Structures are given as structure tokens and as C-alpha cells.
Structure 1
């Protein structure tokens, strides 16, 4: 079975401040909620801090978890309400069908692979120097840093992930006001080439920390995408729901969550 959990975090507690400031520490807390041996299953998680006073931790697990330790260290153990909601994921998976639309949220780490960084770091320069005689050298994975590049990374891959992003339902801009369209070009024609899509980036972040407090430094960029999607390949889409999207999954990236599409006003 598969379970989706939502855990309330109290940001004022000392334990929660450590979790909120370091994805490596949060990863340890998340894997600590799994009853099986360490590394027995891949866990996807995401921290939603839209309201910094009431952040929520979402976790997708294959086995039923126990979040008592997180609640005691970083939640409201004596307060009213549901501290950790754990729900069976099967009812949602049964709703997946071609053409079905959902509202979605995804925090991912958009990256590109290159053989030659434009401005290599000292570590990258050392790798370049060491591979001079290698014919099949491994490339470098670099994070996209601009909104345009991150959004392009996302939209270029939705087809292989089993969904697409519908065109925006808002009215097109008047001629001359659309930054994509030269003045005098019919807006309708430009919409067919590069229509606005029902997706936006709501948060962008640079993460940098060391493993175990010393040694190798982990650095990556993340972006949170929100919008509306339409399922095109139920099998591929279900796989992305269960296995995650993109790299840095251990550090809070890759979990795609869904919600019913809000009713449209006629």
C-alpha cells in the first residue's frame, strides 16, 4: 500500500528550526518514521511553508508511518486537532484516467547536464583537469537558476511524465501588450505557437548544506510549480506520482500532489 501524510510543524520550537533550515536533517526525520530497515523504501517529501507560522510537511511512503517523534520534537503534541493525517493513497490512484484534470503542486530541482560549465567552480575545474584523457567522461549536472529556464525545464518534460498543462483560460492580451507578440501580429496566431499555460512558479530557493555537518557541500536550486494538469498517459503519470520527479528527492524535491480542480464559474 501507499500512504500520504500531512504533518503540522510548529516553527517556534527548537527541534522544528533544525528541520526547517536543513533538508538533510528533515530527511533523517522523515526516514525515521518508517518502521522497516533504513533504506528499505524510497520516501518522497515536501515542505509547504506558504504560511511560515503554520508550515506543513507532506510525505509519501509505501508502508504505514509513525510520526510521533516529529510531533514531539517539532509539532504541537498537547494541542487540539489532527497532528499527522495519514491517508491511504489508493482512492486517489483509482481516479487517474486519461483526460482527467487536477490542480497540482510540485517542488522540483530543475537541472541540465553539460560537459563544460561556463564558469566552473574549483571542484568542477579539478574534475575537468582530471578527465583530460578520458573519452567518456561523466558530465556535470547544473541547476537552472532563472524562472524562464526552470519553467522551460518543466514544460519540456510533461509529456514523458504522462500529463500536459492546458492553455490558460484567461483572455489574451490586446495586440501590442503581449510581450511575446510583435506589434501587428494577430494574437490568436501567437497563442497557437506559444500559449500561456496553467502553471506558475510560486517559490524559488537555493539550498546549501554539508552532509553530517562537515565534508562535501550539497548545493541545489528548487522551484515550486502550481497549476492545473491533464492526464495523458495514466501509467506514466502514476509512476511519477509514486516515484517522484527530477533529482534531489532525498532533500524535499519530486513529490507531486493533486487536488480536485476548483469549479469554474460560468
Structure 2
């Protein structure tokens, strides 16, 4: 059985103190805080997906979490957990919402593929002039990224009926001693279930890269 949870920060967790503001804006700090809810070492595969919810109550920090095991209660957090057993049927339509790190693989001189941010890679490939860069970036985001997601859907059990990219931004953050830069796009639209088993796996395990930064959690609502 899997679990779908809504977790809310009620007070600064022990040890966070002065870092509470950092926790609000730093996805990897959020990932570290949420990991404490699961009894497994950090050198194992991430046992959960998460997404930060919009702030609607003057600074309250909330997350949606999907996990194979129920999160354990820890001081300073409120847990609202329910069993999560998606029941999908081929042909059903759902409204979807997902934040993703769109990437593409480029061949390197050594012959090994290297993963690149899709938007930045395309702008470099197209050799866009500085005067046209902003306009071309918008075109890539709103025309090419929906097609990028359609191709991913074919491998993950769903087809795209409609898709809109509401926002694309570059996130820069630290992970340990390393700087991380991620392009993040917010996709919304309607999908059609094509392979219930594959789509269920996607719902439980996520889609794409950047899951330790709050990306890849696919949210569905029946049409």
C-alpha cells in the first residue's frame, strides 16, 4: 500500500532554527526535512515524492507527499495521511498538474550522452541572437515543451489531450558543496489513460529528474 499525505510545518523543527527561512525557499533543504519522516538511511533511493503547496495562509509551509510507507509523526509537523491506491481505467480522462525538469540528451565528443536543460540547449542549438532570445525562449517553452511531455507520456502510460506550460524558471541552489541549476516548468492540462499499470507506476515513482528538489509528482483529478 502507498500513502498520499499532506504535511504542514507547525513549528521550526529541532535543529532548523535560523534556517527556517532557508527551508521555505530551498527545495533540497525541504527534501532533507521530509526524509526524517521515513525510517531509511539517506544513502538509499528516495522513498517519497513531494511538492510544496502554494502559501495561502501567511507563511504556512505545506507539502504533498506520496510514499510507499506511511510517514512517521515527528515533532513540529502535522500529518494528514490516507491510503493511496490509484484505480485507473484505459481511456479515462484526468486533469493533470506537474512540475518537471525538462531535459534532452546531447552527444559529447567522447561519445557519451550528456543531459542538458531542454530550453537552454535548444536556444544554444538554434543560435538565437540576443535580440530574439527572449521571444524564442517563450516559443520553445510554450510550443516545444508540451511536445516534450507528450513523448514522455507515451513511455509512461498516458496520452496528452491538452497541455499548457504556465511557468518556466531557473532554480539555482546548493546541494552539499555543489551548485545546482535546474530549469523547472509547470505543466497543466488533460491526459488520457493509455496503460493503467504504467501510469500507476508513474504516480507512485514520479516522472523525470529532480525528484529530490520537489519535482516529478504527477497530480490527477477526474474530468
TM over 0.5: yes
Which residue of the partner structure matches residue 93 of structure 2? 101
CA root-mean-square deviation: 2.6
Check conservation: 1:112, 1:144, Cα contact below 8 A: no
In 2: Cα distance, 1:232 partner to 1:138 partner: 30
Which residue of the partner structure matches residue 233 of structure 1? 195
- Name which of 187, 190, 203 aligns with 2:167: 203
In the TM superposition, residue 232 of structure 1 has moved relative to its aligned partner by 0.8
In 1: Cα distance, 2:190 partner to 2:19 partner: 35
**1:13-24 paired onto structure 2 within 5 Å:** 16-24=20-28
Check conservation: 2:102, 2:208, Cα contact below 8 A: yes
Structure 1 residues 11 and 109, CA gap change in structure 2 (3 angstroms): farther
User: How many positions carry a matched residue from both structures?
Assistant: 197
In 2: Cα distance, 1:254 partner to 1:70 partner: 26
**1:188-227 paired onto structure 2 within 5 Å:** 197=162, 199-212=163-176, 215-227=177-189
In the TM superposition, residue 14 of structure 1 has moved relative to its aligned partner by 5.7
Q: Secondary structure at the match of 2:207?
A: coil
Structure 1 residues 225 and 26, CA gap change in structure 2 (3 angstroms): same
- Name which of 62, 70, 79 aligns with 1:64: 70
Check conservation: 2:172, 2:179, Cα contact below 8 A: yes
Check conservation: 2:93, 2:193, Cα contact below 8 A: yes
Is 1:111 the equivalent of 2:116? no
Structure 1 stretches lacking a partner, 5+ long:
72-82, 117-131, 167-196, 262-266
Give the TM-score normalised by the residue count of structure 2. Answer: 0.77
The structure whose Rg is larger is: 1
Runs of 4+ displaced beyond 4 Å? 9-16
In the TM superposition, residue 50 of structure 1 has moved relative to its aligned partner by 6.3
Is 1:42 the equivalent of 2:33? no
Q: Secondary structure at the match of 2:95?
A: strand
Which residue of the partner structure matches residue 164 of structure 1? 159
Q: Secondary structure at the match of 1:226?
A: strand
Q: Secondary structure at the match of 1:97?
A: coil
In the TM superposition, residue 34 of structure 1 has moved relative to its aligned partner by 0.4
In 2: Cα distance, 1:162 partner to 1:229 partner: 10
